Structure 1
């Protein structure tokens, strides 16, 4: 891998992986909390709702927090049936009240048995070679396993087994697993290593990565996310997904034309 490319992307990581990044990104939502369960719940919800304009995503998440009285975990564990009525009008794009109520049911059932949502992705006693793909496939099976699962809610939780890039869930795992001294990602989960994460591959990251020749695969699916991540591991084997900051940041700058911001060596 080109040393110039590594240097260029490392510089972009430094530019975007900093506290100033938080305010205008959906990761600002879990950063509103200090209790681990609240961070997990609203981190997962913010990642799930992360499509469309970032301002709208953040506002919808804040609306949801207010509907749960500012304390998501406490509301989920202790609510009574009448408390759910105020959530019946919550909607963001194709995410509606049916999905909202199932999410609350799922979280309640889970947190009645476990302290952390990490157990939903990496159960205790899993093999040492359990990676992100295993975690995502397991989570989807677990998530849809409740008897009252509404079929329409499946579309909000992807998995590698369905050949999805799992962009939003990979972003959520990055938030929970990556840890450095910059204070953006939380790093509160320990059963997965940062080296095992898969880079979130959204439209902007995909386009920039192709310009940088980090993706050669024609279609965009789970294998594409794996290809991108493997190339990023050549730049940093221990923390390849830190380059999500660089690729996403370049995607933001692209509004002025990416050709004008890429260095000459890209070609």
Structure 2
């Protein structure tokens, strides 16, 4: 299991690489790379190999010589500057102080910006390979910690389900007593006891929670299997939390007993925590 969040950085040959990811519904790649032919497709392929989901941002900052070459003398600009100085000297009414070469080189337009040669693609791809390896390892480490948290929460759901099942006999007695009291009130009111008894029996069938508990057991088994998956399982786990929540809601609506209601509410609380953590799973 891998987390969708991760980070890696690499300093190589005066270049600073950074790779980070956050939660996202799908795979969202954001590349901030210099203009080097073939680099972007290579980066997309490398990132697709280590990430199936997440908002992934890759940046490369060039430094040193790779950031830009030294400025170069613009000979045409120098000629223009010298010609302008000659015109100034010709028009001057008084002799002018001599101008040094250093002063001429300081004039605007004499220099032009140098262009650095692009970094070699092979070197960039090799560095990118190291970066993505570290990035995948970081997401795997976070995923292992996340799996431990999720497993603990699934175990808590299983324990609460067992507690609910253990209350079955006490709940049956509680409901039988409630039904007897209802029948006594019906008898006092002079209503048709047979019909009312039939209705109460139907309510008792509807109040049965055996199916909900069995489905919770099945969901727990499915969640544990997904936690052991090596392939991305985040979306399937997210769907499973919805199924967990549906059974917990039904359990609360059928509870008809304070202790069972408390278990249902505890289930909803742990399922909500599970859902939040599942959003981090790839």
* Bin of the TM-score, shorter chain as denominator length: under 0.3
* TM-score (structure 2 length as normaliser): 0.23
Q: Which has the larger radius of gyration?
A: 2
Q: Where is the strand percentage greater, Structure 1 or Structure 2?
A: 2
* TM-score (structure 1 length as normaliser): 0.24
